[in-house]
Chains A and B, each alone.
Chain A
Amino acid sequence: MDIALAVLGGFAAAAVAPLVVARAGHYGGYLLALVPLAVFAFYLSLAFGADDVAAVSWTWIDALGVDFSFRIDGLSRLFGLLISGIGAIIVVYAAGYLKGDPKLGRFYLFLLSFMGAMLGLTAADNLVTLFVFWELTSVTSYMLIGYKHEYQASRDAALQALLVTAGGGLAMLAGLVLLGIAADTQSIAEINAAGDVVRDHHLYVPILVLLLIGAATKSAQFPFHFWLPGAMEAPTPVSAYLHSATMVKAGVFLLARVNPSLGGTTEWTAALSIAGGATMLLGAYLALNQYDLKRILAYTTLSALGTLVMLLGVGTELALKGMVTFLLAHALYKGALFMMAGAVDHEAGTRDVRHLGKLARAMPITAAVAVIGALSLGGFPPLFSFIGKEVLLEATLENEWGAFWLLLAVVAVSSPLLVVAAGVIAIRPFFQAGGEPPKHPHEAPPSMWAGPGILALGSVVLGLAPVLGQGWLIEPAAQAVAGEEFEVRLALWHGFNLPLAVSAMTIAAGIVAYLFREQLRALTWPVESRVAGTVGPTRGYEGFLVGIKRGSAWQTRKLQHGRLRRYVATTALATVGLVALAAFTNGGVPLAFDVGGVHFYEWFLGALVLGGGVLTAVARNRFFAVTAVGVVGVGVALIFLVFSAPDLAMTQLLVDVLTVILFVLVFYHLPGPMLQARRGVLVRDAALSLAVGATMTLLVLGVVHADRPTDVSEFYAAAAYAEAFGRNVVNVILVDFRILDTLGEVVVLGAAALGAYALLKYRARDPEGDEQ
């Protein structure tokens, strides 16, 4: 129960957030931060509790084996601590950053919902539970990126992120379903405990591909990386929280979660190493030609996500240890750096490094955060990310996979590029002269430097004393990813060895590259801008959108032409065709008319209905036609009555009366007398009508002569009173046995009425509009 409360508490806090902010203004943010803080404390208590794993489960959809279940192991704990800890910091930070914003309550609603979704995702044990929370993170992320919805750029970026991640989510859903089939269970813990079952299954490759698409879109892996820089349109607290520390790591989380059951194969290693390596390199490179602080950080985040995926692909004990270490290190320093960028934007009025300079004097604390964050980004000792990078290099060097030289090259090229980015972030705006910011800068309020300060401090402390984080946090997480037991020992100083040498070389190369960055940009920018403008994935995305719009416009023109007669004709023809096809493939319908037992009044009713039909068809006046239709309806009602179906008869009669009334009301709006159709049209319509009539006749004959189960009516007749306490079987079926059908019909009816209402009112308000 506690687990559910902790996981779902974010949603509860989200629900009351607008009220709290309405009462307390931005101070409400400080109050709301208590919720993530409490969740953080709960996860801490789990980490130091007696049990290694905490779980809770409810049956959700029994027939499909779907449970609403959570299971918190080492990996979930690491993520839970990051999500709730950084969440608390972000909630406080946003109170300062968005102080006075009239939509602050809504912001917290989205942000805390996102936190709940993320906690649910990382704690989920059932595949469907996981998927539901996965989609919730996409939806809340859409809301948050589009928070400044007055701006076109915000809306476009939000839609782009949603289309990419939700599209990937669909692929992932298919993958999860297949995974559930292959493993014959939906519990992730059971799947992971089942050994080689999934790896040996013939569906393994489809499962892997589909899950990879889901993970790659969410974690912005090449070639789906383009939405992440766009998402920087979001307010900075969102970028810091979603797009560096938490949500974009959901894909990495998914891959880590299924690693024990899917990982370790050649396909896994190849796919993840290549996608991860390519993203790592591409992200580090793309940061080079950026000047916006947030965009630089976004591209370096891409690089970090690529690193994590690549390490998962390598998959050795050392690599997984490095993955978890790097994940923690990155969340700490990148969260701090993003909040630093937000503080600079907030106080100086711009994030463009070309317009910033010498900020260190005015903003000393923010500058300190920037320096620590940048040193972490560059992988300098003695910070925690240096240790992460050491393990990364070690894992790459001892990698047994054939292409390890390729991975080493990727690391060797991207690391110096990250050092350049670090320099651009920290040195240029804070310590170099030049640039005139729009605002006169001064230090940010404590709410905006305390949080990033804590994260930066964490980078330093864990770097100097990694033992503080290894036993209870990193080791259980790495074990959960690997699915086996091993020890994790981290140290700042490894002795003189190959990783240290490579590390030193990349840092030295990075410093040289920083000094010559202008030359590097001049060399690369012309090529980059041309490539991005012609074949880049952003172009592909735009082309895809244009194609979708064209396609839907085409099919709307073809199918939704707005001509009522053609709609009726299409529907009728389709019905006739499908019924004829079904009759043909099932060996035809026996054309046996047995009129022996028909009473004389039944003949009379038949003639009444038939006569009404003929009169409707030949009528030259609308009122006459509608009255004739009414005759048909009444005749049918009488037939129902004769065959002892009073419910149907009554309903039929009522519907008919109302139909006539509605027709008469509509006639007021129709222009002039009825138009007479041309002879050819009349013949065509008559043929179609006869075909429909013949089809209905055949259907009825088919039903009469078919061997049908007789126990259905007997069951209802017997069960209606015994089980549902009603003597009217028709009504009992409607409101009890088949209640969901009726509910659906009521909803359809309501939607149709609102549609008709809208159409009528729209026309009434637009007298110039063409009436048909």
Chain B
Amino acid sequence: MTSSTILKTTSLLLVTLFLIFSFFLLWRGHDEPGGGFAGGLVASSAFALYTIAFGAVGARQNLVIDSRLLIGVGMALAAISGIPSLLLGDAFATGRWADVEIADREIHIGTPLLFDIGVYLAVLGVVVTIVFALAEEED
């Protein structure tokens, strides 16, 4: 944990920006540079920054869900995303897409997006678990 007020203040701002940016990367990944892996890394950086500024205990509370559990949830989501195509008679993890209308806007979603969300969560869980473990030891 740092005693620097400047770092604490700016990091709060940056963490928010980082997280929003990570969602943005995740969402647009299928068409533009980005994706679950990059998004997960950006989100991890946000939590790493927070950890440096405020310590692992605070960061852990802000994550809400246990980072180790996050790894499992991510893996499970990624694996589950392969099942719908299986039920529809295709090979495991064949991409399935649907156009959903939300508030007059047509949104294109599919199982690869679910898979990417799984990757995002797993990467976040992996990095943050290690960062917390390392940072907590020095507390």
Q: Which residues of A contact B (CB under 8 A)?
A: 646-647, 650-651, 654-655, 657-658, 661-662, 665-666, 668-669, 724-728, 730-732, 734-736, 739-740, 742-743, 746-747, 749-750, 752-754, 756-757, 760-761, 764
- Cβ contact within 8 Å between B45 and A764: no
Which residue on chain B has the smallest CB distance to residue A752? B126
Q: Is the CB of B34 within 8 A of A728?
A: yes
- Do B134 and A760 touch (CB < 8 A)? yes
Report which B residues bind A (CB closer than 8 A): 25, 29-38, 41-42, 44-45, 48, 52, 68, 71-72, 74-75, 78-79, 82, 92-93, 95, 97, 108, 110, 112, 115-116, 118-119, 122-123, 125-127, 129-131, 133-135, 137-138
Q: How far is the CA of A643 from the CA of B130 in the complex (A)?
A: 33
Judging by beta carbons under 8 Å apart, are B138 and A668 in contact? yes
Q: Evaluate contact between A724 and B95: CB separation under 8 angstroms.
A: yes
- Apart from the given pairs A726-B30, A746-B75, 11 other A-B contacts in the complex at a CB distance below 8 Å: A651-B41, A665-B138, A724-B95, A725-B110, A731-B35, A740-B93, A742-B78, A746-B118, A750-B125, A757-B133, A760-B130
Grouping DSSP codes into helix (H, G, I), strand (E, B) and loop, the A interface class, with mixed when no group exceeds half, is helix
With contacts A746-B75, A749-B122, A750-B72 taken as known, whether A724 is within 8 angstroms of B130 at the C-beta atoms is no
Contact of B71 among A654, A658, A750 (CB under 8 A): A750
With a cutoff of 8 Å between Cβ atoms, the chain A residues found around residue B74 in the complex are: 746, 750
Could you say which residues of chain A place their CB within 8 Å of the CB of B137?
668-669, 760, 764
Distance of B98 from chain A, by nearest CB (Å): 11
Shortest beta-carbon distance from A662 to chain B in Å: 7
Known: A665-B134, A668-B138, A760-B137. A734 touches B71 (CB 8 A): no
Name the one of A650, A739, A750, A756 contacting B33, with C-beta atoms under 8 angstroms.
A650
Quick one: which of A661, A742, A747 contacts B131, CB cutoff 8 A? Answer: A661
Identify the 9 closest CB pairs spanning chains A and B, nearest first.
Answer: A654-B41, A753-B126, A665-B134, A646-B33, A726-B30, A727-B31, A735-B112, A760-B133, A731-B35
Given contacts A750-B71, A753-B125, contact A761 B133 (CB under 8 A): yes
The answer for the CA separation of A727 and B137 in the assembled complex, in Å, is 44
With A661-B52, A753-B129 as known contacts, state yes or no: A647 contacts B34, CB within 8 Å: yes
In the complex, what residue of chain B is closest to A657 when comparing beta carbons? B45
Known interface pairs A734-B37, A735-B116. Does A754 touch B71 (Cβ–Cβ under 8 Å)? Answer: yes
Cβ 8 A contact of A725, one of B34, B36, B97, B116:
B97
Return the contact of A739 from the options B29, B37, B112 (Cβ within 8 A): B112
Contact B134 A666 (CB under 8 A): yes
Most buried by A among B41, B74, B97: B41
CB neighbours of A750 from chain B (8 A): 71-72, 74-75, 122, 125-126
**A743-B31 CB under 8 A given contacts A658-B44, A735-B116, A749-B122:** no
Q: CB distance B129 to A746 under 8 Å?
A: no
Alpha-carbon gap, A746 to B130, bound state (A): 15
- Contact between B31 and A746, CB atoms less than 8 A apart: no
Q: Find out whether the CB atom of B134 lies under 8 angstroms from the CB atom of A739.
A: no
**Contacts A669-B138, A754-B71: A654 and B45 contacting too (C-beta < 8 A)?**
yes
The distance in angstroms between the C-alpha atoms of A662 and B52, with both chains bound, is 11
A-B contact pairs, 10 of them (CB 8 A): A646-B33, A647-B38, A735-B95, A739-B93, A746-B119, A747-B75, A749-B126, A750-B126, A757-B130, A764-B137
**What's the least CB distance linking A248 to chain B, in Å?**
37
Q: How far, in Å, is A680 (CB) from chain B's closest CB?
A: 33
Q: Hey, which chain A residues are within 8 Å of B116, CB to CB? A: 731, 735
CA distance A747 to B35 in the complex (A): 18
Is there an interface contact between A728 and B31, defined as CB atoms closer than 8 Å? yes
Please give, as numbers and ranges, the residues of chain A lying within 8 Å of B131 by CB-CB distance. 661-662, 665
- B134 contacts A724, CB within 8 Å? no
Residues of the B chain whose Cβ atoms lie less than 8 Å from the Cβ of A669: 134, 137-138
Q: A657-B45, A665-B131, A743-B79 are in contact. Are A749 and B95 (CB under 8 A)?
A: no
Give every chain B residue within 8 A of A724 (Cβ-Cβ).
95, 112
Complex CA–CA separation, A730 to B30 (angstroms):
9
Contacts of A735 in B (CB 8 A): 29-30, 35-36, 95, 112, 115-116, 119
Say which residue of A647, A654, A668, A736 sits within 8 Å of B112 (CB atoms): A736
Cα(A703)–Cα(B124), bound, Å: 34
Q: Tell me the minimal C-beta distance from B126 to chain A in angstroms.
A: 4
User: With A646-B33, A725-B97, A749-B122 in contact, do A754 and B78 touch (Cβ < 8 Å)?
Assistant: no
Chain A minimum-CB-distance residue to B135: A665
Considering the chains assembled together, what is the distance between the CA atoms of A761 and B134 in angstroms?
9
The one of A655, A726, A731 in contact with B41, judged by C-beta atoms closer than 8 angstroms, is A655
Query: Which residues of A lie under 8 Å from residue B25 when comparing CB positions?
Result: 650
Contact call B127/A658, Cβ cutoff below 8 A: yes
CB-based nearest B residue for A746: B122
Chain B: which residue is nearest A663 at the CB level?
B134
A731 and B79 within 8 A (CB): no
- Name the B residues within 8 Å of A655 (CB-CB): 41
Q: Which residue of B lies closest to A756 (CB)?
A: B130
Q: Residues of B contacting A740 with CB < 8 Å?
A: 92-93
Known A-B contacts A746-B118, A756-B133, A760-B134; A728 and B35 likewise in contact (beta carbons under 8 Å)? yes
Name the residue among B33, B79, B97, B129 with the largest chain A CB count within 10 angstroms: B33
> When chains A and B are docked, how far (Å) is the Cα of A109 from the Cα of B116?
37
**Bound Cα distance from A231 to B123, whole angstroms:** 46
Within 8 Å CB of B38, what residues of A?
647, 650-651, 654
What is the minimal beta-carbon distance from A655 to any residue of chain B, in angstroms? Answer: 7
Residues A749 and B123 in contact, CB atoms below 8 Å apart: yes
Q: How far is the CA of A747 from the CA of B123 in the complex (A)?
A: 10
B85 to chain A, nearest CB (A): 10
